[in-house]
Amino acid sequence: MALTKEEKTAAVVSQQMHEKDTGSSEVQIAILTKRITSLTDHFKANKKDHHSRRGLLQMVGRRRKLLDYIRRRDEAKYQSVIAALGIRK
């Protein structure tokens, strides 16, 4: 269920602004998207895992808030992040 170090590093590198960027909104969204995807796969096999489902909903909400923040600041960046990560909207 948890992301491996390689998966997390790949997500960070794909959205970095500069070499040491590990906490920008774009990077956080990329990491959350990877975690949401892995949890979604987990729920296909474990339908009754309601405790983890609550965590998934919290992650989705956190990602939504970060996306709204980017959209308010820069619409073009918002569109590029959504396209790069394959998020529907």
Is the residue at 39 inside a domain?
yes
Is the residue at 10 inside a domain?
no
The total domain count for the chain is: 1
Instruction: Mark residue 86 as left, alpha or beta (left: phi above 0; alpha: psi -120 to 50; beta: remaining).
Output: left
Is the residue at 3 inside a domain?
no
Q: What is the CATH number of the domain that holds 64?
A: 1.10.287.10
For the residues of the chain, what is the DSSP string, one character each?
-PPPHHHHHHHHHHH-SSTT--SSHHHHHHHHHHHHHHHHHHHHH-TT-HHHHHHHHHHHHHHHHHHHHHHHH-HHHHHHHHHHHT---
pLDDT at 26: 96
The yes-or-no verdict on residue 89 having pLDDT over 70 is no
Is the residue at 9 inside a domain?
no
Q: Would the pTM count as exceeding 0.85?
A: yes
Is the residue at 41 inside a domain?
yes
Is the residue at 63 inside a domain?
yes
**Which tens digits make up the pLDDT trace of 17-66?**
999 999 999 999 999 999 999 999 999 999 999 999 999 999 999 999 99
Instruction: Write out the residue range of the structural domain in which residue 68 sits.
Output: 21-85
The yes-or-no verdict on residue 1 having pLDDT over 70 is no
Is the residue at 13 inside a domain?
no
Q: Quote the distance between the C-alpha of residue 18 and its chain's center.
A: 19
Is the residue at 70 inside a domain?
yes
pLDDT at 9: 94
pLDDT at 88: 78
The yes-or-no verdict on residue 2 having pLDDT over 90 is no
